[in-house]
Structure 1
Amino acid sequence: MRLTTFTDFGLRALMRLAGEPTRAFSTAELAEEFAVSRHHLAKVISVLAGAGLIATRRGGGGGAMLARPADQIRLGEVVRLLEADQVLVECFAPAGNLCTLTPRCRLKARLAKAEAAFLAELDESTLADCIYTPAEKV
């Protein structure tokens, strides 16, 4: 499996917020620290906030913070949220499947099982297991 950069940025942001849970981080600050697009990260932050994983405040002293303790946020939950619009292969899409093998395909069920196992493995870990602080840079 390959995760999108959207999910990658979301996981990075959550790990960083978990590293200093009492501090609010601006999107610009996180984008600079990770050397990623501020615009793209803002979209990620918006989705995370909409799902109740982070809380955001505008203005001075504002920014993003975890809305729940890191040990209550499962990695599988985050990946499902951020990859919601992505399908592993074309035939998993509810519309637009042009694969001529679909009616007789023996691969689809195996891929679905592998994807479920991947997410189940991520469900075994929480954000607390992956906390990141800059002092840990290697």
Structure 2
Amino acid sequence: MRLKKYTDYSLRVLVYVGSKENGELSSIKEISDSFGISQNHLSKIVHELSKLGLIDTIRGRGGGMRLAVEPVDINVGHVVRNMEDDFTLVEWLGKSEHDCGLNTGYALTHIFNDALTLFLQELDKYSLHDVLMNTVEVNSVMEIGE
């Protein structure tokens, strides 16, 4: 499974804005320069994060953005769920056996749905505070290609 760049950039914006001291404002230009993301794309992301109540935006000269809530109240799973528009892991997931051409498709559908549920539950364990304080404990390390 791969999250969209939109979700990745949303999390980056939250980390960048959340890392500022004492409510210091961040600008779209700053974030754009820092991560090499287009300002137009960031504007859409900031608008969405603002609609979710996660950041406050201040317009005009000297404006910018800051977190609207404490980092501990920003759940990583919540952000991912709201930024992703499609959690379909496999194209045929959710189709009938006849549509996917597999007589075991129904069992695989449940396996993938369970895996997605566990993935999101794992993200739900963490807040932006955990990320900013680098307090995320790694329970296991898996080498790709083992």
TM-based fold match above 0.5: yes
Asked if 2 retains the 8 angstrom alpha-carbon contact of 1:91 and 1:102, the reply is: no
SS at 1:89 equivalent: coil
Higher-RCO chain (CA-CA 8 Å, sequence separation at least 6): 1
2:41 maps to 1:40: yes
Matching residue of 2:7: 7
2:24 maps to 1:29: no
Counterpart of 1:9 in structure 2: which amino acid? Y
Cα separation, partners in 2 of 1:60 and 1:76, compared to 1, 3 Å = same
Between Structure 1 and Structure 2, whose CA radius of gyration is higher? Answer: 2
Count of aligned pairs between the two proteins:
129
Percent identity of the aligned residues? 36
Cα separation, partners in 2 of 1:63 and 1:85, compared to 1, 3 Å = farther
Counterpart of 1:53 in structure 2: which amino acid? L
When the two chains are superposed, the root-mean-square deviation of aligned CA atoms in Å is: 2.3
CA distance in structure 1 between the partners assigned to 2:15 and 2:90 by the alignment: 28
CA distance in structure 1 between the partners assigned to 2:51 and 2:25 by the alignment: 17
2:67 maps to 1:66: yes
Cα separation, partners in 2 of 1:58 and 1:86, compared to 1, 3 Å = farther
Matching residue of 1:20: 20
Gaps of 5+ in 2: 134-146
Asked if 1 retains the 8 angstrom alpha-carbon contact of 2:77 and 2:121, the reply is: yes
Gaps of 5+ in 1: 133-138
SS at 1:65 equivalent: strand
TM-score by length of 2: 0.78
TM-score by length of 1: 0.83
Cα separation, partners in 2 of 1:103 and 1:31, compared to 1, 3 Å = farther
CA distance in structure 1 between the partners assigned to 2:3 and 2:43 by the alignment: 18
